[in-house]
Structure 1
Amino acid sequence: MPKINAQGKTFTCDRDRNLRKVLLENDIELYNGKSKIINCMGIGSCGTCAVVVEGLTSEKNWKEKARLGLPPHSSSSDRRLACQIKVTEDIRVTKYDGFWGQGSEVVWTAESDI
């Protein structure tokens, strides 16, 4: 079972589980500000669940590539959409500021809240 480190917590999940669902099930604050209530609920159209992931996961699919190619995101960024990621191996997750998680200031890391 892959191990996930996020917001100072460590937990496991079944291989190929959706990262967004696993993070929310483990009480991880995935969304910033009002994006907690104004988001696409995991269909990949809003981009508010953007995170940085260290470790192997599924490849970016067309939805993720399309959304991350539009402002305020950038296709050259290291952000990924948690709602489109399948967890395949142990990973570490970091969340950044901004409504869409597109900012430059860390909100939380794998180890803890900042």
Structure 2
Amino acid sequence: VGANLRQVLLHNGIELYNGQAKLINCRGIGSCGTCAVEVEGEVSPANWKDKGRRSLPPHNPNKNRRLACQTKVLGDVRITKFDRFWGQGDQPLWTPEG
């Protein structure tokens, strides 16, 4: 409880980044937005970095996405990663079921 979502996903071998974002990302400081995922479950409230980056294109602040690098896991969660470079697309790439 309280673990960083990005670190948990990477530690468990779950690919968090799409395409070239695997090479070009901010490594968890919250500035690039490439680790955006849909989160269902108990997590920390969005901080100013998360809200700020998701308010800028290509992200849509009305979508239920969070930056994994700025999110702490507080209980059971379900994560979905979407397509496009920043994970801002509408096609799910993976969910817990595969």
Q: Please, what TM-score do these two structures have when normalized by structure 2?
A: 0.98
User: Aligned residue pairs: how many?
Assistant: 98
- Unmatched 5+ residue regions in structure 1? 1-14
1:93 matched to which residue of 2?
79
| 1:75 Cα deviation from its structure 2 partner | 1.3
Q: Which amino acid aligns with 2:85?
A: F
Encode CA deviations 1:9-64: one digit per residue, 9 max, x unaligned.
Answer: xxxxxx10000001001100100000001000000000000000110100000000
Amino acid at match of 2:95: T
Q: What is the RMSD of the two structures over their aligned residues, measured on CA atoms? A: 0.5
Residue 26 of structure 1 aligns with which residue? Answer: 12
Moved over 6 A (4+): none
What are the superposed Cα offsets for residues 65-100 of structure 1, whole Å, 9 maximum, x if unpaired? 000000000111111000000000100100000000
**Equivalent runs, 1:15-54 vs 2, <5 Å:** 15-54=1-40
What are the within-5 Å matches in structure 2 for residues 75-94 of structure 1? 75-94=61-80
Larger radius of gyration: 1
TM-score normalized by structure 1?
Answer: 0.85
Distance 1:24 1:37 in 2: 14
Give the SS at the match of 1:95: strand
Unaligned runs of 5+ in 2: none
Residues in 2 aligned to 1:22 and 1:46: alpha-carbon distance in whole angstroms:
19
Percent sequence identity over matched residues?
62
Query: SS of 1:88's equivalent?
Result: strand
